[in-house]
Structure 1
Amino acid sequence: MLLDRIGMRVPVVQAPMAGITTPALAAAVANAGGLGSLGVAAMDAARARDEVRQTRAMTAAKFNVNVFCHKPPQRDAAKEQAWLDGLRPDFARFGASPPDGLADGYLPFADDPEMLAMLVEERPGVVSFHFGLPTSDQLTALRDSGAILLGSATNLADALKAKAAGLDGVVAQGWQAGGHRGVTEVDAPDAQMETLDLLATLKDAGLPLIAAGAIMSREDVQAVLDAGAVAAQCGTAFLVADEAGTSAAHRAALSGGSTRMTRAISGRPARGVENIISRRDDGEAPDYPLPYSALKALHAVASKAGEDGYGPFWAGTECARARPGTAAEILARLTP
């Protein structure tokens, strides 16, 4: 069984939220019997190695390292300039101007041999993928290192691809889940299935399923286990953990309870707290991850002026139910 192979005593995975997860959070969840995770998509291999080693220093258990398998953006100078021009009035509110251009700050895993080498050498135990799958050679190298491999899927086709690639399990990401939607193709039709409906659909893939989306209590965890999942993946519940790297503004915003799926922040659909930036028309957003660079600059100048409405505050639909505590306390509240 997948959980036995990982060494999990509790059927809960702490989601690998890039920019939020910390070694202390991942280790605390692992030590309490769940699967702790690090999100390293925004890091270079050297920083990721440091985080993995910090985590290993705090736990002997397996933990998960998540990487992004997106395609490089297609550059369109006119579209990018139009996006920047659209943000100009927002920057002007704070006496600032948009950057001269949009930067690509997220290296796809397929183009990052140093990250692959780090994972093979450091052996965290579990490696997971978002936005698709790595190359077959990368999968072979990770598998040969002893890693348990997990993918994400929002539809049956992607789950079947994960099975064909020899993955060990799939995170079934329901429409309610916070953070980036795990779709392979941004512009492809999305059935927007909620978690329980998606679980029923993905059973045909024949892989162990880890359910994600609107899971905030032990009753929610039990519901997805009853529906056929082997575990639940929880992100929003851990946003308010003492060990999480979540900002004070992000934590405060969760209590509003209103979320929105948007491409306006990063260029890919992602669910976060409804605010000024997430309400922006995202129909002409440049390719992922280009909008991020301008948004981060805007959030920086706005927050200095006391305006947090431009924050990329990822959260699931049940964010108002998040309750603070240590990671171990939150995990205990999730354990059926």
Structure 2
Amino acid sequence: MGTQQKATRFRFESLALPVIQAPMAGGPSTPQLAVAVSAAGGLGFLAAGYRTAAAMRTDIEAVRSQTKHPFGVNLFVPQPPVISHDDLQRYAASLAPDAERFGVKLGEPKHDDDDWDGKLEALLDLAPPVVSFTFDFPESGVVESLKQRGVYVIATVTDREEALRALAAGADALCVQGPEAGGHRGTFKPDGPPPLVPLHGILGELSDLEVPLIGAGGIATADHTRTALAVGAVAVQAGTAFLRAAEAGTKPVHRAALAAPDHFTTTDVTRVFSGRNARGLHNEFMRRHDGDAPYGYPEIHHLTTPLRAAAAAAGEPEWLNLWAGINYRQTMEGSAVSILKSLAP
């Protein structure tokens, strides 16, 4: 193995501020953002989703070269396909006019595992302080292998059943994600409506579990942090709050949309962009396709990738996945450190 570092296992008590910068796949999460948050007393996170194992390794090494503070890496857990060929073809046909509008071809709707084995191999080699999982939780052998390397393992859960499954497989802590959160829901079930119990309700339902709980969903101010801590969380995880950070890799059109609350007046949960439930600013693409989009991740994610890339390049927010939590209007532009301090209890 290449970088055999085995430090003291992470503890939430080691954080100066009980705030985690959520991993945001697709560009916003950068090594610079993770470094800035971790160095300032929070817990910065890298998003390995949509990245190759080699790219994830480069990101981890970049963070490690710039800070000695703990940081985390998040992986998407692959799941079996849920979409039929016919449903996929029907949705592709409905997207054809949108692709023609931007002069692009739709992507190949393949089912893949997001370089799962390669990423696990790299994590066991590099042993970052914290690793979290979304969309499901690995079997206990994988979890135990990471823990033996000194890695602190966090499961993203949205209800009690998922929480108990994750704990049975060896999770050290639970990131409890409420429906207020922006971006993809972390539900283990890839199709069907996600749980609607608010964050504070889920935290209450899990309060009897003897495990650290992280509150995620709608955290945009110090008051939100204080309230989550008061109902049982040991820390909060904020994603949308960091989308406008100077160090974030958020697309310019996405940044501008977050700063235009008079234009984008609400968020909604949709599967039109990826085939999985995710919350974003309600726009024209959602209005056109919410009625005909099937479940089917990652096939639909790959299908719409060229279309979304073209919309971003053209500065067209109405055809782009503008992930955002319900309190996006309370976000601020500035350095990651200033945003982190604004969330501190």
User: What TM-score range do you get, normalising by the shorter chain?
Assistant: over 0.9
State the TM-score, normalized to the length of structure 1.
Answer: 0.93
Structure 2 matches for 1:28-67, cutoff 5 A?
Answer: 28-67=36-75
Once the two structures are TM-superposed, the CA of residue 6 in structure 1 deviates from its matched residue by 6.7
Match of 1:157 in 2: 161
Once the two structures are TM-superposed, the CA of residue 188 in structure 1 deviates from its matched residue by 5.0
Question: Alignment partner for residue 281 of structure 2, among 273, 281, 285?
Answer: 273
Question: Alignment partner for residue 15 of structure 2, among 8, 11, 27?
Answer: 8
CA deviations 1:277-312 (Å, max 9, x no partner) are 233225542410111123221123334444221111
Match of 2:324 in 1: 315
- Cα RMSD between the aligned structures? 1.9
Question: Alignment partner for residue 127 of structure 1, among 127, 131, 151?
Answer: 131
Conserved in 1, the CA contact under 8 Å of 2:190 and 2:295?
A: no
Conserved in 1, the CA contact under 8 Å of 2:221 and 2:343?
A: yes
Instruction: Determine whether 1:325 maps to 2:329.
Output: no
Task: Write the letter of the residue equivalent to 2:335.
Answer: T
CA deviations 1:57-109 (Å, max 9, x no partner) are 1110111100011303245322211111001111222344434x4133x5257
Question: Alignment partner for residue 301 of structure 1, among 299, 310, 321?
Answer: 310
51 and 305 in structure 1: CA distance in 2 versus 1, 3 angstrom threshold: closer
Structure 2 matches for 1:150-189, cutoff 5 A?
Answer: 150-187=154-191
Conserved in 1, the CA contact under 8 Å of 2:52 and 2:114?
A: no
329 and 3 in structure 1: CA distance in 2 versus 1, 3 angstrom threshold: farther
Match of 1:143 in 2: 147
Task: Write the letter of the residue equivalent to 1:291.
Answer: I
Conserved in 1, the CA contact under 8 Å of 2:275 and 2:293?
A: no
3-state SS of 2:113 partner: coil
Once the two structures are TM-superposed, the CA of residue 204 in structure 1 deviates from its matched residue by 2.9
State the TM-score, normalized to the length of structure 2.
Answer: 0.90
3-state SS of 2:318 partner: coil
Conserved in 2, the CA contact under 8 Å of 1:72 and 1:108?
A: no
18 and 304 in structure 1: CA distance in 2 versus 1, 3 angstrom threshold: closer
Task: Write the letter of the residue equivalent to 2:54.
Answer: A
Cα distance in 1 for residues equivalent to 2:85 and 2:166: 35
3-state SS of 2:34 partner: helix
Task: Write the letter of the residue equivalent to 2:95.
Answer: L
Specify every segment of 5 or more residues in structure 1 that has no aligned partner in the other structure, as ranges: none
Once the two structures are TM-superposed, the CA of residue 141 in structure 1 deviates from its matched residue by 0.9
Conserved in 2, the CA contact under 8 Å of 1:131 and 1:183?
A: yes
Cα distance in 1 for residues equivalent to 2:124 and 2:106: 40
Which is worse superposed, 78-87 or 286-295?
A: 286-295
Once the two structures are TM-superposed, the CA of residue 205 in structure 1 deviates from its matched residue by 2.9
42 and 189 in structure 1: CA distance in 2 versus 1, 3 angstrom threshold: closer
Corresponding pairs, count: 331
3-state SS of 2:279 partner: strand
Conserved in 2, the CA contact under 8 Å of 1:272 and 1:314?
A: yes
Task: Write the letter of the residue equivalent to 1:107.
Answer: D
Question: Percentage identity across aligned positions?
Answer: 38
Which is worse superposed, 294-303 or 245-254?
A: 294-303
Specify every segment of 5 or more residues in structure 2 that has no aligned partner in the other structure, as ranges: 1-8
Instruction: Determine whether 1:240 maps to 2:248.
Output: no
CA deviations 1:133-156 (Å, max 9, x no partner) are 112221111010000010011111
Match of 1:102 in 2: 109
CA deviations 1:186-224 (Å, max 9, x no partner) are 335643111111111121333211001111111110011
Question: Alignment partner for residue 288 of structure 1, among 287, 291, 297?
Answer: 297
Conserved in 2, the CA contact under 8 Å of 1:178 and 1:270?
A: yes
